[in-house]
Amino acid sequence: MADACVTMTVSRVDGAEFSDDEWEALRAKLGEVDLGVDELGAPFEPLVGHRDDVFGPPTPFRVLLRRYWGEELDCVVFDGESFELARFDLMMIHGEEHDVPDLSRDIGDHDRKFTELMSRDLARARRTAEVFARTIGPTYRCEAASEFW
């Protein structure tokens, strides 16, 4: 199963590059806006890189809203319709105590679970992008996307 993330990209409508002041103003504005929650009810927690780091060139302004590691799905129950975090039970395995997620109600199809979670979170991120776009004004365009690697 792939690892993935949901991002929000902000770019200028006129295609121009962001000034340093604009970049910092956008970063500050992120802290003032409720960006919503993911499918599991956890708030999107924006991570914005510095202008020269792994998020690429200064334009566009990219915000990492949620990052998913494949193994994290082992703690999520998907019953085919809804998601919830698994409860953990203490079990003895080879004479040692381990916390084990209760996945008895899970469909057991990691690929379907992953695809469904990503599509639902992307839909939520698109609403987040619309809210943020209204907040920062018509000079900017916001788009949400999912990325896999």
86-136 per-position pLDDT tens digit: 988 888 888 888 888 888 999 999 889 988 999 999 999 999 999 999 999
Length of the chain (residues): 149
- Largest Cα separation within the chain, whole Å, is 64
Show Cβ contacts of residue 66 under 8 Å, excluding neighbours closer than 6 positions: 5, 6, 38, 44, 45, 121, 125
Query: So where are the chain's domains?
Result: 4-148
What is the distance between the terminal CA atoms of the chain, rounded to a whole angstrom? 9
Buried b / exposed e along 15-54 (16+ C-beta atoms within 10 A): eeebeeebbeebeeebeeeebeebbeeeebebebeebeee
* Residue 53, pLDDT score: 54
Beta bridge partners of 140: 12
Query: What torsion, rounded to 10 degrees, do the Cα atoms 70, 76, 82, 84 define?
Result: -140
Question: Taking 80 as the threshold, does the pLDDT of residue 9 lie above it?
Answer: yes
Beta strand 61-68 pairing with 76-78: unpaired
Q: Could you read off the pLDDT of 58-76 as tens digits, one per residue?
A: 557 888 898 887 677 788 9
